[in-house]
Amino acid sequence: FKQKTAYEIVDCDWSSDVCSSDLGDVWLSPHDRPLTREELCDAVAGADAIVCLLHDRIDDEVLDAAGPQLKVIANVAVGFNNVDTDAIAKRGTVWFTNTPAVLTEATADIAMALILMTTRRLGEGERVIRSETPWVWSMFYMLGTGIQGKTLGIVGLGLIGQATARRAKAFGMEIIYSGRRQADPAIEAELGARYVSFDELLETADVVSLHCPLNAETQHLIDADRLKQMRSDAFLINTTRGPVVDEQALVDALRAGEIAGAGLDVFEEEPKVNPGLLELENAVLIPHLGSATIETRTAMGVLAATNAVAVLNGEQPPTRSEEHTSELQSQSTISYA
């Protein structure tokens, strides 16, 4: 039978490896940019499988545009706040998959890099050199904050949170964490991590690193009140999703010296960045690079394509939700790493 798969990945040698020609037609986006809404709806029309990216909003409109033959949505990301899983679930015949685990190490590297960049003022230092601002080594020049013996507060000890904690531990940090559930005792023991309330974490951590998924519960989890709870010498790191932090409240807190600095890989309205952040020396800002290594993006693409192909072949996709998507009512059944 004739199938169509809409891939929104460009230049991917792996797509031809994973997708054998007997799968039917494969439409590959020719653009290395997000598709417009119209392009997305046109591309998915008649597709049996959609392999989509984190900026593609997959909702009723897109599912309707695809048509009733649609069998699987394979998101090339671990986070899936771009996907209306209820809209998928109510169709009853569409699988949903994401790409957990394969981007854990790359994203934790970026979280650790941001911890070092913010505490040691590396962005600021680089701007001095690049702007040819006169400088000279002196005892008190551009002093940062050492992290050895300091406390890292991990919000959400999933795979990425754990991998970040592992790195921070190697740098001599103590680990506390909060989240919906206490971690496995073996993980706590390995990381020397202590489960605390969210209040205690905010009030005591020297560095707060966010690793929870974005959903209705975590939207603006870090707002003006939460920022006030943090220590004035503490740093906030966000490598999960921008809307977990109220960006304007963060700008206000950084300006007022309520916290010492912030390292952000993600923004509330990507690719826009709150102009207030751009003026702040104590904000380190990078463009959603968490998973941006050749190896990791390849692994993510291959996994998403493998998920889609499995469903088209009538098999269970490797990183499927626990139950068939028709029974998927709770996002907690999908792995978040």
Q: Among residues 105, 190, 200, 270, which one is catalytic? A: 270
Burial of 244 from C-beta contacts in 10 A (0-12 / 13-18 / 19+):
buried
Catalytic-residue membership of 270:
yes
Residue 172 CB, nearest approach to ligand DGY (Å): 28
Catalytic-residue membership of 167:
no
Of the residues 74, 103, 114, 205, which one makes contact with ligand DGY according to CB under 6 A:
103
Residue 151 CB, nearest approach to ligand DGY (Å): 26
Nearest alpha-carbon partner for 215 in 93, 302, 330: 330
Burial of 163 from C-beta contacts in 10 A (0-12 / 13-18 / 19+):
buried
The DSSP call for residue 182 is P
Residue 222 CB, nearest approach to ligand DGY (Å): 17
> Is residue 78 within the footprint of ligand DGY (CB under 6 A)?
yes
Contact present, 28 and 15 (Cβ < 8 Å): yes
Nearest alpha-carbon partner for 325 in 41, 80, 160: 80
Q: Strand pairing partners for 1?
A: none
Distance from the first to the final alpha carbon of the chain: 36
Tokens of 188: 């706590």
Q: Strand pairing partners for 193?
A: 175
Nearest alpha-carbon partner for 72 in 3, 16, 10: 3
Looking at the Cβ atoms of 254 and 337, the one nearer to ligand DGY is 337
Looking at the Cβ atoms of 70 and 78, the one nearer to ligand DGY is 78
Long-range contact pairs involving 137-140 (C-beta distance under 8 Å, separation at least 24): none
Task: Fill in the per-residue mask, 185 to 214: x = in contact with ligand DGY (CB under 6 A), - = not in contact.
Answer: ------------------------------
CA distance 324 to 315: 12
> Is residue 290 within the footprint of ligand DGY (CB under 6 A)?
yes
> Is residue 100 within the footprint of ligand DGY (CB under 6 A)?
no
Reduced to 3 states (helix: H, G, I; strand: E, B; else coil), residue 158 is coil
> Is residue 54 within the footprint of ligand DGY (CB under 6 A)?
yes
Of the residues 26, 77, 83, 210, which one makes contact with ligand DGY according to CB under 6 A:
77
Q: Among residues 121, 211, 226, 241, which one is catalytic? A: 241
Q: Among residues 121, 167, 226, 288, which one is catalytic? A: 288
Q: Which stretch binds ligand DGY (CB under 6 A): 74-82, 130-138, 149-157, 324-332?
A: 74-82
Q: Which stretch binds ligand DGY (CB under 6 A): 77-85, 125-133, 215-223, 304-312?
A: 77-85
Catalytic-residue membership of 57:
no
> Is residue 79 within the footprint of ligand DGY (CB under 6 A)?
yes
Looking at the Cβ atoms of 163 and 202, the one nearer to ligand DGY is 163
Residue 81 CB, nearest approach to ligand DGY (Å): 9
Distance (Å) of CA 60 to CA 16, 39, 308, 310: 29, 16, 20, 24
Q: How many residues bind ligand DGY (CB under 6 A)?
A: 7
Q: Which stretch binds ligand DGY (CB under 6 A): 73-81, 125-133, 187-195, 248-256?
A: 73-81
Catalog residues that contact ligand DGY under the rule CB under 6 A: 54, 77-79, 103, 290-291
